[in-house]
């Protein structure tokens, strides 16, 4: 049996996507068919980098994982391989693998750049479908420091540094200064990015930093212990740039201003909106005051009764009217809004001892609605009601309240 490192061919070759090898073991992983191969170029989920996908013979490889304790690479398939097969052709989905190589290599470069720009060490790494991030051990990474680190990282990309991955001898390893010393049993795999960065890593990387294309900052978040920097590399960064450009161009056209003027234009809009909302709120209050005064003047009887229903009127407005109508003495307001939902708002002046809960129950019985509460202002409702039913409900509520 060859050592594990030898069977993991991706360790020394990140670019081969097709290979032929023998099946060493047929097995099951979480109830799904799986195989172990004599050797493989498929990368298993590990070290923060997601697994490869692809095919073995005519089956899809849906997951690749490291089996403990023997370290075998288990290829999980969508269906079992044909029984007669002893060898298979493997094919790795290259766009997914290249994306992982770009993000992962970009991470090495950026981690080193943050050490140089801020003395901040990377203590976490996430490579997901939606975002890529590193966690730094520094609590305050200001915008200037962050920008300097990304500039340093992109300078390393532009320098198109050669990247080498190998297993050094113990003697050679002793002479290498690593960015971070990992806790690993067995042979240590070293990844050197020119003279820029040397670290221990088991992932797949591009051959030259130029292939990372671009290392682009997305956002900075404060963590309990440190700072999270989200970023994008390679094609992800270019796609993100294209999408941002599309959004910015749309905003620029909609606001009829040049792109550099967008922040000021949005700030002006926000200020205008705030002032308009304030004015609108004041006008609404004044309109409700006038409407309440008019309704009070129309009301007859002692106590004065105001029965009124609207269709689709916001219940806050109806409540505002009820409170205004009954702020002074001698008024009972039986108001309702119908439409898709029905809401009754009944209110009485402090000096009236009327039982509004009973009135509300009578109204709710007409529309088949739910229970309401008690007190000087009561509210309750139900489903859709037409205006004729609503009028009947208010009439029923008014029965026995006196006045009118
Ligand atoms: Zn790596």
Q: Is 58 exposed, middle or buried, given 0-12, 13-18 or 19+ CB atoms closer than 10 A? A: exposed
320: in domain: yes
State pTM to two decimals: 0.75
Do residues 149 and 201 share a domain?
yes
pLDDT of 404 higher than 70: no
Do residues 64 and 198 share a domain?
no
Provide DSSP, 154-204: HHHHHTT-BEEEE---HHHHHT---SS----SSPPPEEEETTTEEEE--S-
Do residues 195 and 216 share a domain?
yes
- CATH number of the domain within which 17 lies: 2.40.30.130
Determine the distance separating the centroid of ligand 1 and the alpha carbon of 204, expressed in angstroms. 6
Do residues 271 and 338 share a domain?
no
Determine the distance separating the centroid of ligand 1 and the alpha carbon of 173, expressed in angstroms. 17
Do residues 194 and 132 share a domain?
yes
Determine the distance separating the centroid of ligand 1 and the alpha carbon of 270, expressed in angstroms. 45
> Of 232, 265, 292, which residue is a domain's last?
292
Look at 151 and 184; give whichever has higher pLDDT.
151
Determine the distance separating the centroid of ligand 1 and the alpha carbon of 42, expressed in angstroms. 16
pLDDT of 88 higher than 90: yes
Q: Which of 38-42, 151-155, 299-303, 319-323 has the lowest mean pLDDT?
A: 299-303
Determine the distance separating the centroid of ligand 1 and the alpha carbon of 127, expressed in angstroms. 11
Convert the pLDDT of each residue in 357-397 to its tens digit.
899 999 998 888 777 677 788 888 888 888 899 999 999 99
Do residues 41 and 119 share a domain?
no
Look at 374 and 291; give whichever has higher pLDDT.
291
Determine the distance separating the centroid of ligand 1 and the alpha carbon of 201, expressed in angstroms. 5
Q: Find the distance separating the first CA and the last CA of the chain, reported in whole Å.
A: 101
When the pLDDT of each residue in the chain is averaged and rounded to a whole number, the result is 92
Do residues 107 and 242 share a domain?
yes
Do residues 231 and 320 share a domain?
no
Determine the distance separating the centroid of ligand 1 and the alpha carbon of 1, expressed in angstroms. 27
Confidence of residue 4 (pLDDT cuts 50, 70, 90): low
What pLDDT sits at residue 1? 40
Determine the distance separating the centroid of ligand 1 and the alpha carbon of 367, expressed in angstroms. 68
Do residues 201 and 120 share a domain?
yes
Determine the distance separating the centroid of ligand 1 and the alpha carbon of 163, expressed in angstroms. 11
Do residues 53 and 145 share a domain?
no
Q: Is the peptide bond before 69 cis (omega within 30 degrees of 0)?
A: yes
What pLDDT sits at residue 402? 64
54: in domain: yes
Sheet holding 190-193, edge to edge: 163-166, 190-193, 197-200
Three-state secondary structure of 108-119: HHHHHHHHHHHC
Average confidence (pLDDT) over 352-360: 89
Do residues 87 and 167 share a domain?
no
What pLDDT sits at residue 391? 92
Determine the distance separating the centroid of ligand 1 and the alpha carbon of 15, expressed in angstroms. 15
How many domains does the chain divide into?
4
Instruction: Residue 248: give the domain boundaries.
Output: 97-252
Give the integer Cα–Cα distance in Å for 330 and 351: 7
- CATH number of the domain within which 349 lies: 3.10.310.40
Sheet holding 132-136, edge to edge: 122-127, 132-136, 226-233, 215-223
């Amino acid at each position: 049996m060859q050592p594990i490192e030898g069977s993991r061919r991706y360790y020394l070759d990140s670019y081969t996507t097709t290979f032929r090898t023998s099946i060493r073991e047929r097995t099951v992983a979480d109830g799904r068919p799986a195989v172990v191969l004599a050797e493989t170029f498929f990368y298993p989920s590990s070290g923060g980098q997601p697994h490869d996908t692809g095919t073995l013979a005519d089956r899809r490889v849906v997951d690749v994982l490291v089996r403990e304790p023997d370290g075998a690479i288990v290829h999980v398939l969508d269906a079992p391989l044909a029984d007669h097969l002893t060898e298979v052709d493997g094919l790795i989905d290259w766009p997914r693998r290249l994306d992982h190589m770009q993000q992962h290599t970009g991470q090495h470069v950026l981690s080193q750049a943050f050490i140089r720009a801020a003395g901040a060490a990377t203590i976490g790494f996430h490579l997901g479908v939606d975002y890529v991030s590193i966690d730094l051990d520094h609590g305050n990474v200001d915008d200037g420091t962050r920008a300097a680190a990304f500039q340093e990282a992109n300078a390393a990309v532009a320098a198109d540094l050669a990247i080498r991955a190998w297993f050094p001898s113990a003697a050679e390893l002793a002479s290498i200064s690593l960015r971070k010393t990992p806790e690993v049993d067995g042979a240590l795999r070293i990844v050197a990015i020119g003279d820029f960065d040397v670290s221990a890593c088991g992932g797949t990387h591009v051959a030259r930093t130029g292939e990372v294309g671009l290392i682009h900052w997305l956002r900075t978040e404060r963590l309990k212990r440190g700072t999270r920097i989200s970023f994008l590399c390679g094609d992800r960064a270019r796609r993100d740039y294209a999408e941002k450009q599309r959004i910015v161009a749309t905003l620029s056209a909609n606001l009829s201003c040049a792109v550099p003027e967008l922040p000021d234009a949005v700030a002006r809009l926000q200020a205008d909106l705030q002032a308009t909302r304030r004015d609108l709120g004041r006008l609404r209050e004044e309109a409700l005051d006038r409407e309440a005064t008019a309704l009070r003047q129309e009301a007859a009887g002692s106590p004065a009764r105001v029965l009124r229903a609207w269709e689709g009127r916001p219940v806050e407005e109806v409540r505002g009217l009820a409170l205004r109508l009954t702020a002074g003495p001698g008024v009972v307001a039986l108001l309702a809004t119908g439409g898709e939902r029905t809401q009754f708002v009944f209110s009485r002046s402090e000096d009236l001892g009327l039982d509004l809960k009973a009135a509300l129950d009578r109204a709710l019985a007409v529309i088949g609605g739910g229970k309401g509460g008690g007190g000087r202002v009561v509210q309750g409702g139900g489903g859709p009601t037409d205006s004729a039913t609503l009028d009947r409900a208010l009439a029923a509520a008014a029965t026995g309240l006196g006045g009118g």
